[in-house]
Each structure stands twice: as C-alpha cells, then as structure tokens.
Amino acid sequence: MADQQALDEVVRFTSDLIRIDTTNRGGGDCQERPAAEYAAEQLAGAGLEPLMLERTEGRTNVVARIEGTDPSADAVLIHGHLDVVPAEAADWSVHPFSGEVRDGVVWGRGAVDMKNMDAMILAVVRSWARQGLRPRRDLVIAFTADEEASAEDGSGFLADEHPELFEGCTEGISESGAFTFHDGAGRQIYPIGAGERGTGWLKLTANGRAGHGSKVNKENAVTRLAAAVTRIGEHEWPLRLTPTVRAALAELAALYGIETDLSDVDGLLEKLGPAAKLVEATVRNSANPTMLQAGYKLNVIPGEAVAYVDGRYLPGGEDEFRATLDLLTGPDVDWEFSHREVALQAPVDSPTYAGMRAAVEEFAPEGHVVPYCMSGGTDAKQFSRLGITGYGFAPLKLPEGFDYQALFHGVDERVPVEALHFGVRVLDRFLRTA
C-alpha cells in the first residue's frame, strides 16, 4: 500500500516537473534533459540504476528496471513522456510553468499531459523502496523525450537503438486512461485505453502554372489545392467498428440498459448521451485540414500550394484511408505522409486488463470501468515495434465538472491533489499484483 510520503511526494514531483519547462515546439526545439535528470535522481533515490540516453544532445530519455519476484513472468513497461506542448502565459490564470498548488489543485502545463503520471510512477517506486516491496513481474520504467512531436528522439530512438532494455516486456501502460468521466446523470465511468487510431499526418501539394493575378488561369495551384482540401474536409467517412469499440459500445449500452444495436451506431450513440464522447471519435477514420501555405504576393498566382491534414485511421483501416485520400485529392494534387504511425489494438479479455479494472474498482467502487480506443496516439505506437501491447492507464479520480479531456493541450491545465493520490494508490495496487 502506498504510504503517506508517496502521497506527499506525488504532489511535489508533479509541481517540480511542471516548473521545468520542456516545451516541444517541434523541429527539435526542446530540451528534456533537466526533467530527465530530475527523474533519474528520484529513481536513484529508490535504489535503482537509471540510464540516461540521447539520440540528440539535450533530448534525454531515462530507463530503469525493477526485478520482479517471479522471474518466469513476462515484464511490463510503464512509460511517460517528459515534454509538453507550448503554452501562452497571457492566456492562463496562473503562469503555465509555475507548478502552483492552490485550493487543492496543481496548476501548469503538463499537469494532465503527462507530468502527473511521471510523478505517480516516481512516487510509487520510491514507496516500494522504503517498504522493501517488489512487483511480481519485472517492471521497466521509461521516461521519454519528443512524444509531442515525432518521437524520433524518444520512444522511437529507444525502440530502434536500445531494444535490449525492454527484453521480456510484453505489455505496457501509459497515458490517457482510467480517469473519471462524469456522464451528467450521476454515473462515474473509467475508460481504460485498449487501442489507438493510427497517425497519418499528410502534406498535400498542388502544382500549377504561375502567372499574373489579373490573367485567366485554369491551372491555378491555389484553386486546385482549395478544391482538394474542401473535399477532404467535407468527406463523411463510413462507420468501421473495431473489436475495442464494439466492446466499449456493448459495455456502455449495458450500463444504460440500452440494446446494443450495431446496425444503427449513430442512433446508439445518441441514446448514450454524454457518454458517447468516449467512442464517437473512434468509429470512423478522419482527416482534418489544419494548415495552408501558398503564394508570396497578392497579384502573383503561385506555381505551388501546400496544405497539411491531420489524418487518423482505425486499426485495419489504413488501406481504406490511403485509397480514399487518392480519390479526394484527385489528379492535380499529390499527397504524402509527413508523419505516419501504426494503429493499435489491445485485448480487453487479458489478465492485465482485468488487473487494471480490479485496481480501479478497489479505490472507486462506485465507478464503471469500460474499454475505449484513443482517438490520438501515444508512445505505445513506437514501443509496439518491440511486440509490446499498449494500454492507456494513468488513473485519476476527478470531481464532476472537471473536463479532463479539454485540458489536454488546453489553457489552465491542472490536476486535483486528490486525483494524484488516487492515481498513486491505483498504480501501486496494479503494478504490485499485475
């Protein structure tokens, strides 16, 4: 059982890590090393021997292993990233890198994504060291760089260049799961991540004939690109239900006493009310235009125009995604992946999933645990190259009205102290018995 010092430390560690500015603006503009050094120091204080590894100077990862009591058991990976997305201080109620603890809440960039989970991991393993406890399975701990961009300096580098550090790992847990989702009708739902849509970030390029803006031009690159972007933005992707999403719909329908009619998924989602938010983004592929680049002067028609699209595809849906983009872009616009990662799926009938469910239910007996597929992606994609099945499990017990998902990459990101305490207790229970 996590001791009182662990509960105190998780708050301090969260605040301390937030104060270390690890903003990742992409393009290599980030320095995770100070946060990595902090994490390594705390692990060393628990008697571990953390390794600090870099592909690029300053883009530091930390890996450590705890030997379990059952040498015949497969190892489990628990990982958290050290970088955060940018934050504009002028938009916030408190400075985003203050780590301020006020009214029982820790404020700052990374409070939910995901320095809170990093702090939980540190607090749990230090608690074990004080109590002389060990998990049943070998536990590999990884704090990574670069998750908020390409992961090339983080989990991708670790998976490709240091696979030996993850020997024996068959399953892993990380962010975006086991948080309280309030449905507005008194129910508390705890979704555990058992899948991720694939990442298909696209670059579209339209070529045409450059010329004077006053002349008729049937080969206008901007027009061609705009037409393709409009087709993509207005496209209605067909329903595609993965096993994880089917399981989620079945469990949610049972919770609400609704027949699971998968012949009318949109109707079923409507009946689920607010709880539909847990699944509605993962019943289809998607492609959202996000950036446009063209031209250098108002009266000059450019010979090239470029757009970027955030595409996501379901497990098993990449071929359909590619074929649809070929049709939507048409003959005058080329497209390519600017970044691509696989879609993931994890079994919801595994002993590990059952262990996560039991750990949540022990400390939130009023809660209803359901599986779900994440609409975005995590470092689990890169670690899947090593045959590691990934789950989203960063437990937090949140009060009603606390919109956890809106705070990811949002303004005034924060996490309640009591949520951190819950997370430590649940992680401790799960990791010791998994």
Q: What SS3 class is residue 383?
A: helix
Judge whether 375 and 282 are in contact, CB under 8 Å: yes
Among 118, 147, 183, 428, the one annotated catalytic:
147
Among 83, 113, 138, 153, the one annotated catalytic:
83
Q: What SS3 class is residue 391?
A: strand
Nearest in space to 177 (alpha carbons), one of 45, 78, 285? 78
User: Where are the extended beta strands (E) located within 147-243?
Assistant: 169-174, 181-182, 188-196, 198-207, 211-212
User: Within the chain, how many helices (H) and strands (E) appear?
Assistant: 12, 19
Classify residue 74 by its DSSP letter. Answer: P
Q: Is 91 a catalytic residue?
A: no
Q: Return the structure tokens found at 49.
A: 């021997």
Q: Is 147 a catalytic residue?
A: yes
What is the C-alpha to C-alpha distance for residues 294 and 285, in angstroms, rounded to an integer? 27
Q: What is the number of residues in the chain?
A: 434
Strand-pair category, 389-392 with 198-207: unpaired
What is the C-alpha to C-alpha distance for residues 6 and 2, in angstroms, rounded to an integer? 6
Nearest in space to 85 (alpha carbons), one of 146, 43, 36, 127? 146
Q: What is the per-residue DSSP string for 302-353?
A: -SEEEEEEEEEE-TT-HHHHHHHHHHHH-TTEEEEEEEEE--EE--SSSHHH
| Alpha-carbon distances of 427 from 94, 303, 360, rounded to whole Å | 29, 56, 9
H-only helix segments in 257-310: 265-272
Q: What SS3 class is residue 434?
A: coil
Judge whether 343 and 314 are in contact, CB under 8 Å: yes
Rounded to 5 degrees, φ, ψ at 77 are -100, 135
| Alpha-carbon distances of 386 from 160, 380, 404, rounded to whole Å | 9, 10, 31
Q: Return the structure tokens found at 390.
A: 């990934």
For the annotated catalytic residues, the residue numbers are: 83, 147
